Amino acid sequence: MDMRDRLQRIELEELIVVPEHLARYIENREALDTLEGISLYGEGQRTLRLIAPNVYTHEERDQIGEAVLGPANPYYLCRIPKFQLDSLSPEDKLKILGILGQQELSLGLPVAIGPTQKALAPEDWSPAPTGGYQTAYIKEKLSDLNFLLNLRRMTDDPEHKERIEQLRVTFMGLKYPRPVGWKCGMEVTPETHRILPLSVVDYWEEHKPEGYRQRDGSAPVVWNCK
């Protein structure tokens, strides 16, 4: 299947997650334009090594990469002519970065999170005035996400980290049902993006791993909707 056909099947959500060291590419559309195909290939390799650190044959790594990363699989990317990778649209480049970011997020690695609309907007773009539904939705979703990510970062227990990751996926899916009929670039409205009346703090207190404790010396994790 053609690269663009594969990427067309992926829908961008209102928040984009990318590996932390790639945060500069979600500042604006111009930054995405500077991202070259060879860099996409290199970042795919890096993420695949993190996913499958003890797999050494190319065939096995290719199979894992295809199953987990899809169009961001470095073995797939290396078969795409360089000029085609370089000519990908900012939206398609962002989709590849998002695949890598979601995988690193699930591994508990540092990520950067930002509004998709800002990542695809020109450098001189100004967001809608504060107070609109779209602004409130993104702020609350980002606050809930950061609360759970910070709780996971503050423990050294691998079983607790895994359990918190499961809680993150479940809670975010419950409170923020997947939008129907919404496409990137469209306005976020109460009709397209519902927020169910769930408290991430209450959910955490009810479902947190038994015996969970933060790392000694760390500041308490609190929910804050900035």
Indicate if the pLDDT at residue 139 is higher than 60.
yes
Q: What is the pLDDT of residues 17-34, one digit of tens each?
A: 999 999 999 999 999 999
Neighbours of 55 (CB within 10 A): 16
* CA dist., res. 116 & res. 101, Å (int): 13
Indicate if the pLDDT at residue 83 is higher than 80.
yes
Res. 128 pLDDT band, cuts 50 70 90:
low
Q: Which two tokens stand for residue 91?
A: 């939206």
Q: What is the pTM for the complete model shown?
A: 0.82
Break the chain into its structural domains and give their ranges. 11-125, 128-226
